[in-house]
Amino acid sequence: MNHGATTSQSLPIVFVNGERAAFDAPAISSRDRGLTLADGLFETMRARRGGVFRLDQHLARLSKGLQVMAIPEPAELRRWVQEAVRQAGEADASIRLTLTRGPGPAGLAPPTDVRPTVVVAVNAMPAFSDETYSIGLRAIVASGRRNAQSPTAGLKTLAYTDAIVTWLEAQRAGADEAIFLDTDGHCSEATASNLFAYREDSLVTPPVTCAALPGITRAAVLELAHAAGIRTAERVFGLDVLASADEVFLTSSLRGIAPVRSLGERTIGTGTAGKVTKRLMTAYLALVDRECGAP
Amino acid sequence: MNHGATTSQSLPIVFVNGERAAFDAPAISSRDRGLTLADGLFETMRARRGGVFRLDQHLARLSKGLQVMAIPEPAELRRWVQEAVRQAGEADASIRLTLTRGPGPAGLAPPTDVRPTVVVAVNAMPAFSDETYSIGLRAIVASGRRNAQSPTAGLKTLAYTDAIVTWLEAQRAGADEAIFLDTDGHCSEATASNLFAYREDSLVTPPVTCAALPGITRAAVLELAHAAGIRTAERVFGLDVLASADEVFLTSSLRGIAPVRSLGERTIGTGTAGKVTKRLMTAYLALVDRECGAP
């Protein structure tokens, strides 16, 4: 018996403004400002056993971004996410919540009557290779830089163009990822992940003033490290710290914690997942299990 | 008799991948990377008497951007623009050509099989007030800055989020426009227009290395000024030059040339359209007429 349970449906599941939409079918106006001007924000979340990891924090971050961008927040956001996850059942999944200012006329001026577009897509979790986690990623230093003085620094806007171009740069260099410096020359983050370095018994990550996103996984890792008695700091640092670190890893909702084994030609630490990294990976998976409801 | 002519249709006219689409109807996949990641580029062009002003230059700039972003260029671009303009008839119009990498899975990695999305929208020309041209715009200095070290600096990508937020900042300040400095503190451009200052008998505009777009109207204005015997320079300059200029104006395909009458509390020159600005406005309108086919 399975009282009240929903048969899980095959992924992806897509909702547009609360209505189920066929995957890949035309669903968005060609004059939606999300498409024409990247006028919107998004969240990427992890679902496990029918629960969403730190949904409150994701919605709070989105809400803050909507305020900065002066986009009205639809009241149904949480309900739409929960309904999509409910239909997806208990499969591990990633959830992408996209919110745009909706359709509008040509030009920058928003329409007087704003009708936001909300897309909730539940996708299968991306399959990362075992090597990603046991050995680690090969990273390069990005040739472009993140803008610490952007008016949307710290917001998860739709403007991922620079991240894509830089991800392609990493691929062409035979690497998996690229690490951005900010416009002041300080370490910032990777193309879609936060950055951590472990060095001299201390775990450091760039502050959001270095154009780093205030990541939900980043915050969870800082908590876990603190609880494990590891010294932590949000601190401005340069490439020298990264290159001489014992361990480096990246964090994101989809990846969790992923070790970095090299930076350009330089090997990081032992060139494989370090022991602090592995300890945090285990603690993070346990945290996700715990908060999303253990079996 | 009107052999071969097409009855002009009411605007807007929208084509998606060469097919006429109903205005505002769902036409784009919710997983189009233009929407989810601003993974694309656009051009805004001016049509007059059935011709497109400097279409070749717009397509060349787009093509260069596509190469940097490694997006394949559909062979039909020019034909699709021309067909949309033909259907629009001889009305003055603005044309927005949007090209994205098309639908893709979650994450930054592009799909292996890229099918770009191309939207051509022909809109009525925006109605600017007479005051915009005869007196001029009130501008502020943007609090955020443009990234001179972005890997997509100089490309007209879909990532206009910072421009929108800054345009809203100008509105809240009771102004019409905002002028960006770049991350090195040099004058860059306005939210969607290039910037010119006339001072000491010389017309200057920031070089593209100051995160300014290589605007098509900007290039036309440099040509026109040169032909009129006005000294011109693409030169790095700071706010001091702008504040002490005799005349300041903005250029874009939709606006043409628009004078700036104030910068924050400071009046520029006489606080109205200056004589060099007016001379160039007249020359520019004549140029558009000439190149698009005089009546």
Which residues of chain B make contact with A191, given a CB cutoff of 8 A?
Answer: 108
Interchain pair A166, B151: CB under 8 A: yes
Name the percent of chain B in helix, strand, coil, to the closest 5: 30, 30, 40
Q: Model pTM greater than 0.90? A: yes
A180 Cβ under 8 Å from any chain B Cβ: no
Q: What would the mean pLDDT of A213-225 be, rounded to a whole number?
A: 98
Tell me the three state secondary structure of residue A34: helix
A26, A96, A151 member nearest B26 (Cβ): A26
Which residues of chain A make contact with B68, given a CB cutoff of 8 A?
Answer: 165
Which residues of chain A make contact with B31, given a CB cutoff of 8 A?
Answer: 14, 23-24, 121
A151 to chain B, closest Cα gap in Å? 5
**Which residues face B46 on adjacent strands?**
B94
What proportion of chain A, given as a percentage, has pLDDT over 70?
97
Looking at residue A52, its pLDDT comes to 96
Residue A170 in this model has a pLDDT that exceeds 70 = yes
Confidence of residue A129 (pLDDT cuts 50, 70, 90): confident
Q: Rounded to an integer, what distance in angstroms lies between the CA atom of residue B223 and that of residue B240?
A: 26
- Express each pLDDT in A256-270 by its tens digit: 999 999 999 999 999
A157 Cβ under 8 Å from any chain B Cβ: yes
Q: Rounded to an integer, what distance in angstroms lies between the CA atom of residue A14 and that of residue A217?
A: 24
Interchain pair A147, B183: CB under 8 A: yes
Interchain pair B69, A161: CB under 8 A: yes
Question: Please, are residues B180 and B142 in contact by the beta-carbon 8 Å criterion?
Answer: yes
Q: Which of A85-94, A177-186, B94-103, B283-292 shows the lowest per-residue confidence on average (mean pLDDT)? A: A85-94
Task: Give, rounded to a whole angstrom, the gap between the first and last alpha carbons of chain A.
Answer: 17
Q: What would the mean pLDDT of A88-101 be, rounded to a whole number?
A: 94
User: ipTM strictly over 0.90?
Assistant: yes
Tokens of B95: 């044309």
- Express each pLDDT in A2-14 by its tens digit: 344 445 678 899 9
Higher pLDDT, A1 or B25: B25
Looking at residue A136, its pLDDT comes to 96
B26, B35, B191 member nearest A108 (Cβ): B191
Looking at residue A8, its pLDDT comes to 64
Which stretches of chain B score pLDDT less than 70? 1-8, 294-295
Looking at residue A130, its pLDDT comes to 78
Q: Rounded to an integer, what distance in angstroms lies between the CA atom of residue B110 and that of residue B118?
A: 17
Share the mean pLDDT of chain A.
94
Q: What would the mean pLDDT of A85-105 be, rounded to a whole number?
A: 94
Tell me the three state secondary structure of residue A196: strand
Question: Please, are residues A251 and A285 in contact by the beta-carbon 8 Å criterion?
Answer: no
Looking at residue A293, its pLDDT comes to 75
Residue A84 in this model has a pLDDT that exceeds 60 = yes
Looking at residue A127, its pLDDT comes to 79
Q: Which of B41, B164, B250 to mutate to test the interface with A (most CBs of A within 10 A)?
A: B164
Q: Rounded to an integer, what distance in angstroms lies between the CA atom of residue A119 and that of residue A133?
A: 31
Q: Which of B14, B24, B28, B30 to mutate to test the interface with A (most CBs of A within 10 A)?
A: B30
Q: Rounded to an integer, what distance in angstroms lies between the CA atom of residue A77 and that of residue A60?
A: 11
B29, B108, B157 member nearest A24 (Cβ): B29
Residue A220 in this model has a pLDDT that exceeds 90 = yes
B103, B106, B161 member nearest A94 (Cβ): B106
